[in-house]
Amino acid sequence: MEWRLIWERFREHKAGLWGLWAVLAIALIAIFAPAIGAALGLDPYAQDILLRYAPPGNGHPLGTDEAGRDFLIRLIYGAQVSVGVAVLSTVASMIVGVIIGAIAGYYGGLWDAFLMRFTDALLSLPLLPVLILLAAMDFAKLPGLGLFFADGDASLTKMVLIFVLFSWMTVARLVRGQILQLKEMEFVTAARSLGMRDARIILRHVLPSVLPAVIVAVSLAVGQTILFESALSFLGLGIQPPLASWGNMLNNGLETLSAAPMLVFLPGFCILVVVVAFNFIGDGLQHALDPKSVKR
C-alpha cells in the first residue's frame, strides 16, 4: 500500500491521531531530557536528604521525592527509560518474531513443527510470574553473559533482554500464518521459477504483504511492554535506582501516599497516558492498514 494512502486513512481515525501526537510529544521530551535538565538547572540524581518530600516551588517545580531529588526532572528522565525500554525491546522482538515466523511458515515441515511447538509452549506460560522469576535472576552468574551485566545500567540491558525473550511469539505466529497462505500464491511461484534465492523471495515478495499486520501488533505490544516494565520496576525487580523509570518511582508508593500523594499519582498517570496513546495508535493503524476494517 502506498504511504500517502495509509496516512490519509490513519488521519480519519481521530483517536489514533491524538495518540500519535501524544507519543511524539513524549518522545521529544524524553530525547531532550538532558537539555531540559540543563535549562532548568535540575539534576535527576542530586539528592538532598534535608529536603525530602518538599512541596512544589523553591526551585523544584513539582517538589522533591523521598531522597530529596527533583521530581519533575526524574519524571522526564523516567519517560526516557520507560518508553525507551518498551520501544527498543518491542522492535527487537518484532525482528526475532518475523525471522522465526518466516522460517516456520516458508520452510514448513520439521522446522515449522519444532518452532511452533516452542512458540506455543512459551505462549502458554503465565507471563508475570515468569517475568518476575527472570527479573530476579542474577544474569551475571550466567556463563558468558557476565560481561554484559557488570556495569551500572545492567538493569536496562536485562529488562530489554527479558522482554525480547518473551514477546516475539505473537508476531511469529502472525507472520507464519500469513506466509503459509502467501507462499501458495502465483507471484511466489513466479519468483521461484525465475531462480530467486529463498531469502530474497521472503524479503522482497512475502514480507511486504505481512508487514501491515505486524506493525499493528507491534504498536499494541509497546503499551503492554510499558505496563509490564512498570509493574516489574514497581516490585523492585525491574529498572534499578538511581535510574528513574515511571514504575520504580512508585516503588515506595505506600509510604509516599500519605506524605505526598502527587508523587504517586503523576508517574502512574504518565504510564496510563502513554499506554492509551500507543493503543490508540494501534487502533488507528489497524484502521489505516486493513482495507476491510470499518470506521467505528
Partner 1 sequence: MNFIVRRVAQTLFVLVLMSFVSYAMMALMPGDPLDIACAANPRCNPENILEMKRQLGLDRPIPERFVKWAAAAVQGDLGYSRTYQRPVTEILWPRLLNSMWLGLLSSFVALVVAIPLGILVGVMPRKKIDYIVNMFCFVGVSSPSFWLGLMFIYLFSVQLGWLPAGGVQTVDGMEDLSGWAAVLDRLKYMILPVLTLTLLTIAGWVRQTRSAMIEVMSMDYIRTARAKGLAPVQVILKHGVRNAMLPVVTVVALGLSGVFSGAVITETVFAYNGVGKLLYDSILGNDYNVAMCAFVVSCAGVLIASLVADLCYAMLDPRIKLK
Question: Applying CB under 8 A, which residues contact partner 1?
Answer: 121, 124-126, 128-129, 132-134, 136-139, 141-142, 223, 227, 230-231, 234-236, 247, 250, 253-254, 257-258, 261, 264-265, 267-269, 271-272, 275-276, 279-280, 296
Q: Please, what is the minimum distance in Å from the beta carbon of residue 226 to partner 1?
A: 9
124 vs 193, beta carbon nearer partner 1 = 124
Q: Which are the contacts of 238, defined by CB distance < 8 A and separation ≥ 6? A: 135, 155, 159, 229, 230, 231, 232, 245, 247, 248
163 vs 280, beta carbon nearer partner 1 = 280
1 vs 128, beta carbon nearer partner 1 = 128
Q: Please, what is the minimum distance in Å from the beta carbon of residue 278 to partner 1?
A: 8
94 vs 260, beta carbon nearer partner 1 = 260
Q: Please, what is the minimum distance in Å from the beta carbon of residue 178 to partner 1?
A: 21
**CA-to-CA distance for 205 and 173, rounded, in angstroms?**
19
Q: Please, what is the minimum distance in Å from the beta carbon of residue 68 to partner 1?
A: 22
> 64 has which bridge partners?
70
**CA-to-CA distance for 18 and 33, rounded, in angstroms?**
22
Q: Please, what is the minimum distance in Å from the beta carbon of residue 236 to partner 1?
A: 7
188 vs 274, beta carbon nearer partner 1 = 274
Query: Which grid cell is 82?
Result: 520507560
What are φ and ψ of residue 158, in 5° steps?
A: -65, -45
Grid coordinates 482495507 are at which residue? 291
Determine contact, residues 226/84, Cβ cutoff 8 Å: no
**CA-to-CA distance for 200 and 127, rounded, in angstroms?**
35
106 vs 168, beta carbon nearer partner 1 = 168
34 vs 261, beta carbon nearer partner 1 = 261
Element holding 253 (H helix, E strand): helix 253-259
Q: Please, what is the minimum distance in Å from the beta carbon of residue 268 to partner 1?
A: 3
Q: Please, what is the minimum distance in Å from the beta carbon of residue 157 to partner 1?
A: 16
Which own/partner contact pairs does 106-110 have at CB distance under 8 Å and 24+ positions apart? 106/179, 106/183, 106/198, 106/202, 106/206, 108/180
Query: Which grid cell is 234?
Result: 514497581
108 vs 268, beta carbon nearer partner 1 = 268
Longest CA span, the chain? 76
**CA-to-CA distance for 132 and 251, rounded, in angstroms?**
15
Handedness of CA 237, 36, 24, 26 (dihedral sign): positive
Q: Please, what is the minimum distance in Å from the beta carbon of residue 279 to partner 1?
A: 6
Encoded amino acid at 249, one letter: M
Query: Which grid cell is 205?
Result: 515478495
